[in-house]
Amino acid sequence: MKKLLGETIIYGIGAIMPRIILFVLNPLYIHYIDPEAFAQFSNLYALISFVNIVLSFGFETAFFRFSSETEQQEKTFNTSFWFLTGFSFLFLIGVLAYNQTIADYLGYGKNPEYIKWFALIAFLDNLCVIPFAWLRFNNKPIKYSAVRVFQSLLQTVFVIALFLWIPTAFSEKLGMREKVSYPFYSNLAGSFFGVLMLLPIIFKVRFTFSKELFVRMIKYSWPIMIAGLAFMVNENFDKAIQIYYIDKTDAGAYGGCYKLAVLMTLFVTAYRMGIEPFFFKQMNKENAKETYAKVTEYFSFFASIIAMGIIANVSWLKIIFVPNKSYWTAVEIIPIIVIANLCFGIYYNLSTWYKVTDRTHFGTTISWIGAGITIVLHLLLLEKHGFMVSAWVTFIAYFVMMVLSYFLGQKYYPIPYRTGKISFFLLLLMLFSFILVKYFNYNFWIGNILFLIYSGLLIYSEKQFILSKIKR
């Protein structure tokens, strides 16, 4: 158990640290890139997230599944790598062949190099999928996290150098005509560096391909890819289409302020990395349902305090992380996105029931219901009502997924959650956030008084549990 915990922490560092580094870079981007150009930044990264889901085709999970069959480990490694490499290479060739046409269609006719760079990034990142999975399967968390972190550090140093030290004339010679291209080019360098660091694993691949195994893997992996697309729709559909439906300056402001709400996303992601193995280890124990209920409750309470803390301090957080005041037109999305991500975190806890009962098709269905809400409401309302639609749609989608998972779970695998208390503090969080934004315009002192009241009420309601832990 200690080994599992230690490895989970190390893997968590590898998964979270790059996102933290990129989050810290956000003020630099916002300072040097105007909102209209930042809309391109948000749009292209949203689009590539969908491309990565399709190109990886759920084969990371399939690799873990079929490598567990001892006699298939080497075949799985070779077959997975060659399929993803070939698939990615065909994608890259297609994009390079029709680069200008694709750029024109997506609205980047004047900057077709962006499309070329992102195709290369997607290709290089996909080459790393199976080598990274191999490191995880073979219990090498330090090597896994080291590559992830060093890759991000190189990208960070490169982009800082482009913004602050490298002469503009030299950058232009490399094809970077606008400053928004600096993070794209740096990402390309980081992706290339990642492949170089993983070459010792890639060189283990043999020129063999099992057609029989490939057919089994495809049947297993394509539903995972479909579910992954649903997740990505809920996560990035807003940023992928805003540039085509609303003013680019507004789309850029939304993307910049959305990054501040990522503070909540980072917490939820770190929690997910550590808790999933725990859920499965508990599934056969007699008191598993009570354990799941407690974990969900205390996640909800602790995450609610974090959410209230972020919302209460938007007044100074925006100065640090969104230093360009032209972006502040979208600052009102932050509480909505923060609470939406809290709902997603609760949904993730509630999703335990379909994972431990092997009813994972329910997860795909719920995700696509959320994705359907996201797509339909954006297409109906975004152009007329602007970026606030995106924030509210994100909240509605995650809220509906959370509620659906709860009621379906109670039907197939009843867990005794304290839904009354969780609902009360979720509603109180919404009420305090509304009061702070509507009547006090994110006032620092009022916000933190509300934060202290909220935290105090929550801690007092759980005083017996807290005291029992202190006495131990």
pLDDT in tens, 196-238: 999 999 999 898 888 888 998 888 888 888 888 998 998 889 9
For residue 6, the model assigns a pLDDT of: 56
Asked if the model's pLDDT at residue 166 lies above 90, the reply is no
**pLDDT over threshold 60, residue 469:** no
Separation CA 50–CA 44 (nearest Å):
10
Residue 278 identity: F
Q: How far is CA 232 from CA 26, 114, 125, 354, in A?
A: 21, 21, 17, 20
Taking a C-beta distance cutoff of 8 angstroms, is the pair 373, 397 a contact?
yes
pLDDT at 1 over 70: no
Residue of higher predicted confidence among 354 and 452 = 452
Whether 360 and 411 have beta carbons less than 8 Å apart is answered as no
Alpha-helix residue ranges (DSSP H) falling in 178-247: 181-197, 199-202, 211-245
* Per-residue tokens: 80: 């997975």
Q: What confidence tier does 9 reach under pLDDT thresholds 50, 70, 90?
A: low
Instruction: Give 164 or 22, the one with higher predicted confidence.
Output: 164
Residue 317 is given by DSSP the state: H
What is the pLDDT, as a whole number, of residue 54? 93
Mean of the per-residue pLDDT values of the chain: 87
More confident residue, 138 or 242: 242
Q: CA distances (Å), 153 to each of 148, 192, 428, in order?
A: 9, 13, 40
Torsional sign, CA 206, 211, 213, 215:
positive
pLDDT at res. 78: 92
Q: Which of 87, 93, 182 is nearest to 129 (CA)?
A: 87
Which residues, 6 or more positions from 354, have their beta carbon under 8 angstroms from its beta carbon?
Answer: 360, 361, 362, 363, 405, 408, 409, 412, 413
- pLDDT band (50, 70, 90) for residue 119: very high
Q: Is the pLDDT of residue 95 over 70?
A: yes
Residue 274 has pLDDT above 60, yes or no: no
Residue type, 62: A
pLDDT band at 161, cuts 50/70/90? Answer: very high
- Spell out the domain ranges in the chain: 2-221, 246-471
Q: Indicate yes or no: pTM above 0.95.
A: no
